[in-house]
Amino acid sequence: MNPLCSLQQSKILITVASWEDRFLLGIVQLIEKVSPAKILMFHYKEYADWSKENRDKIAAICAEKNIDLVNDKELAFGSPLESWVNLTRVVDSVINPGELITLDISTMPRETIWSICHVLAKRNISIQYTYHKPQSSNGYAEWLSRDPGKPRILYKQAGIQHLGRPTLLVIQTGYDVERAKQLERFFEPDKVLLGLQTGEQFANSEQNRQKHENAFSSRKDIELFDIDGYSLEGVYGAIADKISPCLDDYNIVLSSLGPKIGALALFKIKQAFSNVALCYAPSNEFNREYSKGIGDCIHGVIEAQAPLEQEMTT
């Protein structure tokens, strides 16, 4: 059975354009399965040249199928406040309460995922998420990203930090150990929890587990634990279990560097535990060849909840 057969039709599809094969191939599949009337396609200024070919192809497909494509919305990693304002305003302008929005997170930065989810949650919108893996047989290149930038707490998702409390940093790890180190250096936390991805996919044992174990396992204030980053419920359960006993004693910061499904799980944790903060760990350089082809699609629905209470800004 085609795993996409259970996708529901929805009028609006939101995505962030990429140069990757799985972006173009994934959107083509989604157009056939969910029949969107409108596609909201953001792209990032820093990689506009890389993504242009795929954006042009999506534009041609939408013109052929009479799909309303909004594709002139440029964001910039170097201008987070301006990008956040533009992103949230545009998303808020195209949605209607009660709609089911399809959110393709395959090539969407985690900061963007969290910002869009925040807008949709405020408007009581259900989210049908899709995540296309790369083609597993091609694996990953030697490096995915490097030159980590300054971590930043998300606007409207900073939680409540209590003066005098120690800091607990929780990281869903990925393949870039330097980004995890950068987070640890930036926050200087009293305690760190590192969720290490399970499984052997994409040389995970060597590129993720072994590197983080070698870099952090000798530290007494750092705890390593297993996590299935491809399961929203798995990430949610593993991290919620870890932070629940710490809510009254620590200021808690969450960050995601692993599979994008984990970023959705951290957003749900933020909804459940309003005091915690979400932190984006940027990288200043990405490997254009780190992803080849398209693999399995993971999808599900995050049901609408009551609108979030107003939270503190950073």
3-state DSSP assignment of residue 221: coil
Residue linked to tokens 């040249």: 49
CB within 8 A of 184, min separation 6: which ones?
169, 192
Query: d(Cα 107, Cα 165) in Å, to the nearest integer?
Result: 36
- Return the ∠ at Cα 82 (arms to 269 and 129), rounded to 5°: 35
SS3 label, residue 199: coil
Q: How confident is the model over 49-95, as pLDDT tens digits?
A: 999 999 999 999 999 999 999 998 899 999 999 999 999 999 999 98
The residue to which tokens 């808690």 are assigned: 252
User: pTM of the entire structure?
Assistant: 0.88
3-state secondary structure of 143: coil
Structural domains in the chain, CATH included, are 12-139+292-302 (3.40.50.11700), 145-286 (3.40.50)
Q: Say what the pLDDT of residue 223 is.
A: 87
Distance CA 15, CA 166 (A): 37
Q: Which residue type occupies 167?
A: T
Nearest to 201 by CA among 257, 263, 136: 136
Where is average pLDDT lowest: 107-111, 204-208, 310-314?
310-314
Tens-digit pLDDT profile for residues 174-218: 777 888 888 988 999 999 999 988 745 444 445 555 666 666 666
CA distance linking residue 87 with residue 110, whole number of Å: 13
Residue 260: closest CA among 12, 83, 15, 27: 15
What residue type is assigned to position 298 of the chain?
I
At 224-238, the pLDDT tens digits run: 898 988 999 999 999
Residue type, 293: G
Phi, psi angle pair for 33, to nearest 5°: -90, -40
pLDDT tens, 133-188?
A: 888 543 444 556 555 578 999 988 988 888 889 999 999 987 778 888 889 889 99
Please state, rounded to an integer, the average pLDDT across all residues of the chain: 85
**Residue 10 is encoded by which pair of tokens?**
């929805």
Q: Do residues 6 and 102 make contact, with C-beta atoms less than 8 angstroms apart?
A: no
